[in-house]
Chain A
Amino acid sequence: MAGRGKLIAVIGDEDTCTGFLLGGIGELNKNRKPNFLVVEKDTNGETGPDSVLKMSNLKIKLSSNSLTEYIKYTYKDWARIRLKNVLDQIPFRNHLL
């Protein structure tokens, strides 16, 4: 559980997510939903980020530049999510898109 503070979420490739989880930000909540999303070739841009972006106990969300651009145009609730949370951008290792 989150405890006092809020969490950091990550949307990125496998290496990026593994690295941030090594740093200790990972959580599986009561419903076993993670606060990270490993983006692969078959990840759905419209509904994939739902599980991460709609979590209420998140404060900072990290996503790569190219992924952010992709999600911006495919994810339906982008405008609302963008206003509600702080989005940091990190480099993307494998350009899948």
Chain B
Amino acid sequence: MGVSEVEESSLQLDEKLMRFMDQLELLEEKRATLNSLIEQGWFSMSKARYSMGNKQVSVLQYASEMKPLVCVNARMQDNGEVQFCTEQQTEKSSKESAKDLRPAEDIGPQEEGVRRRNKPKKTEKDPSEDASSKKAPEVSPVRKSEHNPQQDPLKWFGILVPQSLKQAQSSFKQVIELSAEIATLQIAVLNTRQELKDGLKSKHAAEERLSSSAGQDGRLNNSIASKQVENGEELPSTESR
């Protein structure tokens, strides 16, 4: 019974160790990717600074009012581990601005205006004209529903920014997403390490139990053997008689 318990705990420990190693390897890969993306971002920012000027890309350009565009949500998975994921927050502001704009457009005159006194003949062109007239009100909310320029941090550095600054922004956006994944992995690694420690303790406890029970069996066997030896010594003396 004791031996099977030790074997079982050894197998579990092996599985946990393999999982720990896999997680560590994945963590190192993601960290390497993160570092290279950050370096790419720094390089792009240096290029932008070279073209725009030293003080144009600095702390002095930060906005006096900032709202976060990215937030982090923590979810509990089925295995009890925490998972971090990033969410963009631009949609709310765009939807709100679109809703605010729609009534202004609806208020505008629709039925009034210049009337076509001479009704044109219905030709193939009319449906396309109707479609284009229908498209016009649709296009403007789409244009206005693009993210508010005040929200985009790129606008802090000017209206026309170089491509390198946009590349820096895209690199750092990828870094932010990777950071959430790395945070999740870090927690998983710490949890697996704790499970390994607990597993080792239970294995040592099982081995000690096994050795103590083996020690007791050994003492019993020794006592039985000694009795047998004593009996064995007596027998030859009776035979000699």
B-contacting residues of A (Cβ < 8 Å)? Answer: 1-8, 14-28, 34-35, 38, 59-60, 62, 86, 88, 90-91, 93
Contact = CB atoms under 8 A, between A and B. Distances in A.
The dominant DSSP class at the A interface is mixed
A59 B68 CA distance: 14
A46 B44 CA distance: 33
A20 B176 CA distance: 7
27 contacts: A1-B67, A2-B68, A2-B71, A5-B71, A6-B71, A6-B74, A14-B59, A16-B38, A17-B59, A18-B59, A22-B153, A22-B172, A23-B70, A23-B172, A23-B175, A23-B176, A24-B88, A25-B70, A26-B66, A26-B68, A27-B66, A28-B65, A62-B179, A86-B183, A88-B179, A91-B38, A91-B39
Contacts of A6: 71-74
Contacts of A20: 172, 175-176
Contacts of A59: 72, 74, 84, 183
Interface residues of B, number: 44
Contacts of B65: 28
Contacts of B179: 8, 60, 62, 88, 90
Most chain A Cβ neighbours within 10 Å, of B39, B62, B180: B62
Contacts of A3: 68, 71, 89, 92
Given A6-B73, A23-B153, A86-B186, 19 more contacts: A3-B71, A3-B89, A5-B87, A8-B70, A15-B42, A17-B59, A18-B58, A19-B42, A20-B176, A21-B66, A22-B153, A22-B154, A23-B173, A27-B67, A27-B68, A34-B66, A59-B72, A60-B72, A88-B183
B145 interface: no
A5 B58 contact: no
Closest 10 CB pairs of A and B: A24-B69, A5-B71, A23-B172, A19-B172, A22-B169, A26-B66, A27-B68, A59-B72, A86-B183, A5-B73
B68 A25 contact: yes
B45 interface: yes
Nearest to B67: A27
Contact of B59 (A24, A38, A93): A38
Given A14-B58, A15-B45, A91-B39, A24 B186 contact: no
Interface string B168-199: 11011101100110110011000000000000
Given A21-B62, A86-B187, A26 B153 contact: yes
B195 to A, nearest CB: 19
A82 to B, nearest CB: 12
A90 B71 CA distance: 19
Pick the most buried of A22, A25, A28, A38: most chain B CB atoms within 10 A of its CB.
A22
B66 A28 contact: yes
Interface string B21-36: 0000000000000110
Nearest to B82: A86
Nearest to B72: A59
